């Protein structure tokens, strides 16, 4: 049993102003794995005041000082990486290979990238008679989700630290353990008092208090579209900057060539990774209508080949994060059946032999782009195959969405893949795979605004000042 009942405020572990705790449930067993404290607006006031005091000095710190700090954090992160992986496996059910692999690697990668960018970043440049300075925006409220705990937390904290900002982190209530360990890492690494603060609790309480607080200069939020909309409304009264990375219903376009079956299989298996709980997942698989029979065989075989089970064993997919999330996914599967979508793999209920834990069958439908299961973000291992007539039709279907976060193109003709990628209205597109920590990540349309990752992530935490007549 884990017990994390203190918050990290002003360089110290402190008890909540008003003691209140909540249980944390292991989604693989449905049993209590620990407890956390739930904060209040009074705790937020203390943390914001500490961050405001610290900004007076940290905002003026040198690049060298910030590099030294990030490198100290890097050493401590590596030392405790296995603990982070174990925490992620328990808190949100990621299989051990994924929790100890890509989950923790993402956090480490964003840290290393922040160091690389900071070494070369130009905070001042002269253009004619004007000096252009990029200065830290100030006190930042960072609100993070549960689906990729280290990725979504580290992609905010480390660029903010590199830019010279101070911050208050509100981790996800469903997956709080890894954030607690990360706070211990930052403390051990010597982050100055007040620069980093962390309060656990409910988003509707802590997140709202941060968003409305007059001494918070910026909110960076990753999560659902409805919450992002509310954050924008709450932040309007204080005219603070708001960065939003919201939902997605990303299209994966597979071209008609000899690699079609392999690409369909890869896209299907990829959709099931992290139990489908990825905002940029390719949840709409667009395939040539003339090859639909080949597509269905490849997709069904791939989905049926995904091993599901205890995260501590060697499986590809664990449970989804909670009973509530499980029920929502089941409702969407039922809706797909009601809409007349063709079910070719998976379906309602738990996989055979799994009677406990929030496990979902890897599910694949063949449907149309006007169905609810193709319009709304399900956030589970549910793929919708949509046939297209030609490339123009594929691009039209891909862009016919309220979202625009991720996109994928797979095919042997690279020139065609590139041409298709240029026409897709979405923030990040993967052409035949690939990965880059320096590539900006963020959405078009209702998928949010602003960009994270690499150098572009730094700009989120900086103000631009013109000093005219400098020369």
What size, in residues, is the chain? 471
Q: Are 24 and 177 in contact (CB under 8 A)?
A: yes
Same domain, 328 and 453: no
Provide the Cα torsion 212, 213, 214, 216; round to 10°: -110
Task: Note whether 255 and 241 are same-domain residues.
Answer: no
Are 397 and 255 contained in the same domain? yes
Provide the residue-wise pLDDT of the chain in tens; the chain has 471 residues: 999 999 999 999 999 999 999 999 999 999 999 999 999 999 999 999 999 999 999 999 999 999 999 999 999 999 999 999 999 999 999 999 999 999 999 999 999 999 999 999 999 999 999 999 999 999 999 999 999 999 999 999 999 999 999 999 999 999 999 999 999 999 999 999 999 999 999 999 999 999 999 999 999 999 999 999 999 999 999 999 999 999 999 999 999 999 999 999 999 999 999 999 999 999 999 999 999 999 999 999 999 999 999 999 999 999 999 999 999 999 999 999 999 999 999 999 999 999 999 999 999 999 999 999 999 999 999 999 999 999 999 999 999 999 999 999 999 999 999 999 999 999 999 999 989 999 999 999 999 999 999 999 999 999 999 999 998
Q: What is the pLDDT of residue 324?
A: 98
- 299 in Cβ contact with 345 (< 8 Å): yes
217: number of Cβ within 10 Å: 23
Q: Are both 58 and 141 inside the same structural domain?
A: yes
Same domain assignment for residues 154 and 205: yes
Question: Residues with catalytic annotation?
Answer: 245
In the block, which residue shows the tokens 């008679």? 129
Q: Which domain holds residue 399?
A: 251-440
pTM of the model: 0.97
Q: What pLDDT does 453 receive?
A: 98
Reading the block at residue 337, the tokens are 């059946």
Task: Report which secondary-structure segment, H or E, holds 287.
Answer: strand 284-288
219 and 297 share one domain: no
C-beta of residue 471 within 8 angstroms of C-beta of residue 141 = no
Structure tokens at 345: 């793999």
CATH no. for residue 414? 3.40.309.10
Please, how many CA atoms are within 13 Å of residue 430, restricted to the half-sphere of its CB?
19
46 and 114 both lie in a single domain: yes
Do 130 and 255 lie in one domain? The reply is no
């Amino acid at each position: 049993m884990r017990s994390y009942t203190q918050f990290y405020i002003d360089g110290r572990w402190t008890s909540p102003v008003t003691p209140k705790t909540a249980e944390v449930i292991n989604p693989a067993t449905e049993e209590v794995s620990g407890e956390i404290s739930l904060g209040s607006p009074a705790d937020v006031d203390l943390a914001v005041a500490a961050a405001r005091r610290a900004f007076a000095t940290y905002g003026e710190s040198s690049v060298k000082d910030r590099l030294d700090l990030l490198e100290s954090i890097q050493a401590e992160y590596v030392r405790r990486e296995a603990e982070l992986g174990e925490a992620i496996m328990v808190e949100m059910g990621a299989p051990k290979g994924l929790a100890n692999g890509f989950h923790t690697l993402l956090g480490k990668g964003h840290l290393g990238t922040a160091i690389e960018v900071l070494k070369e970043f130009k905070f001042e440049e002269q253009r004619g008679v004007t000096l252009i300075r990029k200065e830290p925006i100030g006190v930042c409220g960072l609100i993070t989700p549960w689906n990729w705990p280290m990725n979504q937390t580290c992609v905010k904290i480390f660029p903010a630290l590199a830019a010279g900002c101070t911050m208050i982190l509100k981790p996800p209530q469903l997956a709080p353990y890894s954030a607690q360990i990360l706070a211990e890492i930052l403390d051990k690494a010597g982050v100055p008092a007040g620069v980093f603060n962390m309060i656990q609790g409910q988003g509707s309480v802590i997140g709202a208090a941060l968003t409305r607080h007059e001494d918070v200069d910026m909110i960076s939020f990753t999560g659902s579209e409805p919450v992002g909309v509310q954050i924008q409304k709450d932040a309007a009264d204080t005219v603070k900057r708001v960065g939003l990375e919201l939902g997605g219903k990303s299209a994966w376009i597979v071209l008609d060539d000899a690699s079609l079956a392999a690409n369909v299989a890869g896209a299907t298996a990829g959709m099931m990774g992290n139990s489908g709980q990825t905002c940029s997942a390719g949840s709409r698989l667009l395939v040539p209508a003339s090859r639909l029979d080949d597509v269905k065989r490849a997709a069904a075989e791939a989905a049926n080949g995904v091993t599901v089970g205890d995260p501590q064993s060697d499986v590809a997919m664990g449970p989804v994060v909670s009973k509530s999330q499980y029920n929502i996914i089941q409702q969407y599967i039922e809706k797909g059946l009601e809409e007349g979508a063709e079910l070719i793999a998976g379906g309602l209920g738990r996989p055979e032999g799994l009677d406990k834990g929030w496990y979902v069958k890897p599910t694949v439908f063949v449907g149309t782009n006007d169905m609810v299961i193709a319009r709304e973000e399900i956030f589970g291992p549910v793929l919708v195959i949509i046939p297209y007539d030609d490339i123009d039709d594929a691009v039209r279907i891909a862009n016919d969405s309220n979202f625009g976060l991720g996109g994928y193109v797979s095919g042997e003709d690279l020139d065609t893949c590139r041409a298709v990628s240029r026409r897709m209205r979405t923030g990040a597109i993967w052409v035949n795979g690939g990965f880059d920590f320096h590539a900006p990540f963020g959405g078009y349309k209702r998928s949010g605004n602003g960009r994270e990752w690499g150098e572009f992530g730094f700009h989120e935490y900086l103000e631009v000042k013109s000093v005219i007549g400098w020369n």
